[in-house]
Structure 1
């Protein structure tokens, strides 16, 4: 049976990366889709782990070849998802999680209409600003731009299947784990995994 594609979206600073890391630590059956980006790696990030880091020229070549399922420019940087790789993983039955912005999510769902969308919200806009400043990696100008963008991004929350408010980290990870488990329990998935259990449906 095909795997399930999970799309996780959040404004910068809402804790998306931390929640996804918590899910991957607790559920070995979920793998992370590694996106392409032109942004500079943050401290501790490695090419091929968090992202495939490429320069703008390389990104444009790959894009023009049709290599990407979706791509978008966010805060002055390009991000994209490999079309071929993602389709192969789903066809092989591997549950795959994709971290993208709301624009990318719209494009991906056209190709994967059964994808499960999850939007991560901060507990408040004030807390979001505090988290961004607490990183100590961005200038005031970048933070202001991210906060302005966050307001627009959060208006698209209604386009997603599930919404998790990241107030308490442990609870939010529990919620994300619950979404993944619930998706696996959908009727079509259960019937495909355990066909013999549903033999009674064919009986008169």
Structure 2
């Protein structure tokens, strides 16, 4: 009986999630609205980036710094300090370096964000398939439990399978809820670092 209740809870959760999804993005599992790309205008009010968007990778120093600043394991205050140190040490080329650095961050963090979002949608599709499977097996289990004569071996085997599948579904759901915060964290990081770069140019 407990197996059936757990399975029904999973199906109720899956149904709620499917109902709440933005119809434009049927695989998007988060309560946060899906914004596919960060707009440059939303995070950068500095000088035009010109060809910095295609040139930043050619500068080894900028590329190395972009990798460090974009990594979520680098604390934001440490990243902001590194931006200030880098731009303070390049007075003559400050404007060029600032534009290259921001272009690199914009490019890299946008790509990171897209990767996370694609992963979330991939997991969402798996969850939908898992919910369908749990639904079918729940019906099978109810049929087996009501059969005469009842095959207890089959009932136990399917019950154990449902317990396992329900647990996996729930674990994935918890991970998704946590990962749903990541695109917003990336947005905030890009905005904060962009602001520091612009302040250094003033």
Judge same fold: TM > 0.5, yes or no. Answer: no
- Report which of the two has the higher share of strand: 1
Normalising by structure 2, what TM-score? 0.26
Of structures 1 and 2, the larger Rg is shown by 2
Relative contact order (C-alpha < 8 Å, sep 6+): which is higher? Answer: 2
- Report which of the two has the higher share of helix: 2
Normalising by structure 1, what TM-score? 0.26
